Structure 1
Amino acid sequence: MSAEYVGLPGAKEAAASVTAVPTHQAIECRVYRRRWLILILFVVYSMSNAMQWIQYSIIGNIVSKFYSVPSSLVDWTSMIYMLSYITLVFPGSWILDKWGIRVAVVIGALGTCLGSWLKVASAQPDRFAIAFAGHTIVAISQVFILSVPARLAAVWFGSDQVSSACSIGVFGNQLGVAIGFVLPPMMVPNSENLSTIGADLSLMYYSIAIFTSVLLGFILIFFQGAPPLPPSPAQAVQRAAENTGFLESVKRLILNPGYILLLLSYGINVGVFYAISTLLNEIVLTYFPGREVDAGRIGLVMVFAGMLGSVMCGMILDKTHKFKETTLAVYGFSLVGMIIYTFTLSCGYIGVVYLTAGLLGFFMTGYLPVGFEFAAELTYPEPEGTSAGLLNGAAQIFGIIFTMFYRWVLEEAGDLWANITLSAALLVGTILTASIKSDLRRQAAHAKNPQP
């Protein structure tokens, strides 16, 4: 059987190297029960890394006082996650493709554990450099996390469960971010006594280091890269396929004008969210002094609301297949949410801040799967992992730029103008999204070739 990719530029070339399985051969497939253990281990592993992303920034005033470092240096504990991904995404993807899931996960778990233990030695006021070094190692390890969920789901789960498994895999990272918002303010409350802060930091460091060590042991013992038999015929074909080459795929993506517009708009949206998350502690304490715990809980509300938004947006896409319309609507509501958040911070009621931050998180984080799916439509038949990886890279670049710019405007003109500039950036992103041509190539392929 042959399939024609009619009207899809580059599709024939991209599919030319795929080795088809002859129809007269039986494809032996099997779904293994241990797939759930593999998925759960990955979720916990992803969580253990993501929970450390905002670990210092969410208690930035306490960290700055204890280590006697400027707030801008504390901001870099968040931005080092973004910088590490930007610089190492290609080597990380190559290791995942070349050596498989188990090697990538073991390297990431080992790095997360090593960085966590290095932080244990940093619970002294003159050891911020050690804390930052340990945090950097943990940040580098996330390169071996963000690209894994889709691969793991395809390798282990059948066609009727692969999307759900991928969503659960991504959920681990979001859950870790949520824990990272709420745990440090609870474990390290503000105090005028530096010895008390040091003891609390030490307890937090030891707790995370022991947890990541136990997790590393479980991964070494139980985690497998791939089952002996593929879980579906599609995975069997993929195992037999020859890759057309990562660089060739990237070249086709950057020549796709719709995808480039989406790349920019996606980077702006997620970059704004990163900037808000990084400086959330400082913004909240400006209006509600001494409410570090509330700053963490507000971040938690943002992430949990975003999880709900992700699920609902995914369901809407499955029901309607209105990819551009949904993307534009979610982006527009993100802009509206940012404007509401900007002009209600000074109202004096922290409950209002919880509400507006939750609204903002619902749309900004809910935008993530919408952007990935729209990219898959615009770039079909390119691998979804490649298009999503470049979107993540753009988000990290914009995250660093917006965080540094947000900090500068905050110090020079105050939080009102800082938030207005982010709102203006979201307005630009909305215009870029509206300019994208709704070229739904994957849907066209489904219509022309209903049978795989």
Structure 2
Amino acid sequence: MCQTLTTDGLSGEVRPAFTEEEQNPNRCSDDSGDGVNSMETRMKGDPWRFAVAAIFCLLSISNAMQWIAFASIFDETRTYFNMTAVQVNYLATTYVIAYVVAVFLSCKLFEVTGLKAGILIAATANAIGASIKLVAVYAWPHMILLFLAQAFNSVTEILTIAPPPLIANRWFPVEERVAANAVMTICLNVGCGLGALIPVFFVSPEKQEQRHFAALFWFQFGLCAGTFALTFIIPQLPRQSPSYAADRQQKMEAKRLRTLRERQNRQSGAGAPAETQPPLEVVEDDRLNMYDDDDVESVAEPINVFSTLGDTFRAMRTNSSFVFLSIASAAELGLIWSVATVLPQCLVPFGVTGSESGWISFLNLVLGSVIAPIVMHYFGQNWRHKQSLLVISIILVVNVCALCLCYYFGPSGDDHRIYYVVVVFLLWGGVAGLCQNFMLPIMFDFVVELTFPMRESTSAPVLTWAACLSNLVLTVVFGEVLGENPTRTDSAKVLLGTVIVCIIGCVALVLVRPLKRREEFEHRMEELDRAALQLPQDASHERVR
């Protein structure tokens, strides 16, 4: 069996980069084997990665569709279920409250149970939430059941908003990672867009009886139940490591789980764990430990939610860019999500109907979803995270300012309703939609680069936690400003608030330093492997001479 060597960065001693147990005889057959080919074979994507991504996309879409489904049928929901305007707004806000409160529990869930179990739990909660709505429409049309359904759906949201960078990093090779992250991330927007549009085909001012709500809820349940069934075919782990970063993170995670099992066995008096076939081969490789001592020490820490909070606070204390990127996420993404919730109310004083608001929200949330993966793939080869985010943020600030001015100085009277429909359709549905479709996947990929080797199941949720907290605050504030019967002055105040929040996000992005910790780690590992492969070749040439 051939053996890859590496050089100890401190002593200069040449030692094996991987142990004998880790090396697969199929990767290199003899001393004359091609070392480069063996290295490429070892870092290869699992063919199941596309199925995993597709199932996750369906889960994300089916859950996000239920997030703001009541926004475009606002009046019909309020009438049929005997609710106030604030209560209908809180149906969407339930998602946000749950995420803000419990997101760090979900971080630890993925660490302890693994990706497949986390997705299965998410799909189960999603199907339960959809079924409760059927009970509400047939047995007891009361808002309590709607809130209970949203509570179950919010569990799914907690487990699906932030995992795209985790799945992309663990399942996809470097050249596909950015595009995969973009596709899975924008599914949240696609789902929200469909959630704003599809309900108006089932429920409208002319169709707001039991059978109409039942048709909508059966449609949602069918999609959720089908997705739940598909989650069982997801593999437990990829059969091969797609990148050096994924290899490192997976092995460190396996060490933590092994430590947890040993601790549990000791506490239960069972002694040392039996030598059984492990679910994942754990290899002691010193190179895994060379990048961040804190992460290595965390292997021995108790696995609880407080360790996740500790990791987050430690990362923010030592990495100011992480803090500023979180602020930018709160300002930019939280704003977009909150406006999507209150947009129908905001446009009522200008004569824009709920159906038209649904199409505008659909365009805002879905526009760019087709071209975003292509553009993200290009960015993946020529990546400039900070510059891209700054350009998008500046465009968003200018666009929101233009929207505010167009509404403030626009014509009065219901005869000019088309003017306001076109303006908001182009500026909010079009330009702002493109901006947010690109901003979310870039931020997710950027935060992994900034915080590596921090676990992806922790770093990405911090961004979405900040965005959801901002979404919660802004939705409540905007809802109180608009009230039960919003006026044009109330809508103008909301638009002015969007301008201020966008400017805050842009300033925060300026203060972020463009670190590339994950990329530097992978380049370093590649250089070490190339140098190590060259050593036996040089020795062989010397023997020939």
TM-score by length of 1: 0.86
Query: What is the root-mean-square deviation of aligned Cα atoms in Å?
Result: 3.0
After superposition, what is the alpha-carbon deviation per residue over 1:408-443, rounded to whole angstroms, capped at 9, x for unaligned? 223485101111022112122222322334455556
Greater CA deviation, 388-397 or 209-218?
209-218
Separation in 2 of the partners of 1:70 and 1:169? 35
Which residue of structure 1 aligns with residue 96 of structure 2?
82
Q: 1:386 maps to which residue?
A: 458
Q: Residue in 2 aligned with 1:14?
A: none
> Residues 188-267 of structure 1 correspond to what in structure 2 (within 5 A)?
188-191=203-206, 196-220=208-232, 222-231=233-242, 235-241=246-252, 242=255, 244=295, 245=298, 246-255=308-317, 256-267=319-330
What SS does structure 2 have at the residue aligned with 1:106? helix
Deviations 1:340-371 (A, max 9, x none): 22233455322232111111121234221232
- 1:9-408, aligned counterparts within 5 Å? 21-22=18-19, 26-27=23-24, 29=42, 31-123=45-137, 126-191=141-206, 196-220=208-232, 222-231=233-242, 235-241=246-252, 242=255, 244=295, 245=298, 246-255=308-317, 256-289=319-352, 291-307=353-369, 310-311=372-373, 314=376, 317-318=379-380, 320-345=382-407, 346=410, 348=417, 349=419, 350-357=421-428, 358-408=430-480
Deviations 1:73-124 (A, max 9, x none): 1111111111111111112121211111221111111111111010012127
Q: 1:276 to 1:313 in 2, by over 3 A?
A: farther
TM-score, normalised to structure 2, is: 0.72
Q: What does residue 501 of structure 2 align with?
A: 425
The structure with more radius of gyration: 2
Give aligned-pair identity as a percent.
18
Correspondence 1:3-14 to 2 at 5 A: none
AA in 2 matched with 1:169? M
Cα gap change, 1:32 to 1:65, in 2 (>3 Å)? same
2:482 pairs with 1:410: yes
Aligned-residue offset at 1:292: 1.8
Q: Distance in 1 between matches of 2:400 and 2:378?
A: 23
Consecutive unaligned residues in structure 2, runs of 5 or more: 1-5, 11-15, 28-41, 257-294, 299-307, 412-416, 529-545
* 2:510 paired with 1:434: yes
The 1-side partners of 2:81 and 2:361 are apart by 24
| CA 1:233–1:209: 2 relative to 1, 3 Å | same
Compared CA separation, residues 176 and 248, structure 1 to 2 (3 A): same
Deviations 1:204-234 (A, max 9, x none): 11121123223322323x2322244545565
Unaligned segments of structure 1, at least 5 residues: 6-18
C-alpha spacing 1:382/1:230, structure 2 compared with 1 (3 Å): closer
Q: Return the letter of the residue paired with 2:124.
A: L
Amino acid at match of 2:18: V
Aligned to 1:8: none
Task: Give the conservation status (yes or no) of the 8 Å contact 2:49–2:171.
Answer: yes
**Paired residues, number:** 434
Distance in 2 of aligned mates of 1:95 and 1:305:
33
Answer with 145-154 or 176-185: which moved more: 145-154
Contact 2:68/2:195, CA 8 A, preserved across alignment: yes
